[in-house]
Amino acid sequence: MTERFAVENLTKDYGPVVAVDGVDLSIEPGVVHCLAGPNGSGKSTLLGVLLGLVRPTEGRVVRPASDRIGASFQEPAFYDDLTVRENLDVFRALAGDPDIEWVKEVVEVFKLSRVFHRRAGELSGGYSKQLDLTLGLLKSPDFLLLDEPLADLDDVTRESLLEFLEGYAAEGNAVVVSSHRIDALAPVLDRLTVMHEGEIVLDGRREEIDGTETIRRVYREAIAESGKETETSG
């Protein structure tokens, strides 16, 4: 039984496009791990492979014994025709009926009670994201993988999410957040992996890169120094 969650020598091609190119990455408990990089750098593909949704062209995925893996994707995944409350009921059942106090806590973080009776398909972009993040957290996952969770969130909710993720990692859970918005994540990240054109161009810990201003600089330099086209977007 392993608790290791990793990819080894991972390559994923889509025809002529090499989305991920020979990547080794191991996810660890207790840290907020930011997977950063410009649009198209391979972040979503890497997360998809880790989650078993994308089949690698080459390489190996090592999955933990725990099935408590939670995720949220760029496209929300819930039942449009059900209300928010009904979606919560369905996903709670699927998650094995998690502790109700935990469900209340997550609902509170994402302020879902305000839209309990709305049809999920009619939610704004922000509330869609908030519902999707809540559903991803229902089974209090040991490994939480979020793809661009900050998109569409207002400033207040974004702050709540970041604060929540910091606490959740501090409890010993693995939190991986992909984003091209390094500035927003810089204050809470413990580890930064920068991808560019399918490759990892930087992988460092906060104590190595030390401080928000440095993180921004390191991110931009890593991309510039990769010798590839510079298209920093965050």
Give the footprint of ligand ATP on this chain (CB under 6 A). Answer: 14, 17, 19, 37, 39-45, 180
Long-range contacts, 212-216 (Cβ 8 Å, 24+): 212/183, 212/186, 212/187, 215/182, 215/186, 215/189, 216/182, 216/183, 216/186
Which residue number, 45 or 128, has a Cβ lying nearer to ligand ATP? 45
What is the nearest approach in angstroms of ligand ATP to the Cβ of residue 148?
Answer: 6
Q: Distance (Å, rounded) from C-alpha 169 to C-alpha 71? A: 15
Which residue number, 106 or 153, has a Cβ lying nearer to ligand ATP? 153
What is the nearest approach in angstroms of ligand ATP to the Cβ of residue 137?
Answer: 21
Tokens of 226: 């990769």
What is the nearest approach in angstroms of ligand ATP to the Cβ of residue 45?
Answer: 3
What is the nearest approach in angstroms of ligand ATP to the Cβ of residue 14?
Answer: 3
What is the nearest approach in angstroms of ligand ATP to the Cβ of residue 46?
Answer: 7
2: closest CA among 62, 68, 57, 84?
A: 62
- φ/ψ of residue 142, rounded to 5: -70, -30
Which residue number, 52 or 172, has a Cβ lying nearer to ligand ATP? 52
What is the nearest approach in angstroms of ligand ATP to the Cβ of residue 90?
Answer: 27
Which residue number, 19 or 177, has a Cβ lying nearer to ligand ATP? 19
DSSP state for residue 110 in the 8-state scheme: T
Characterize the bridge pairing of strands 32-36 and 191-196: parallel
Which residue number, 45 or 72, has a Cβ lying nearer to ligand ATP? 45
Q: Distance (Å, rounded) from C-alpha 233 to C-alpha 184? A: 13
Residue pair 211/179 in contact by the 8 Å Cβ criterion: no
Which residue number, 142 or 147, has a Cβ lying nearer to ligand ATP? 147
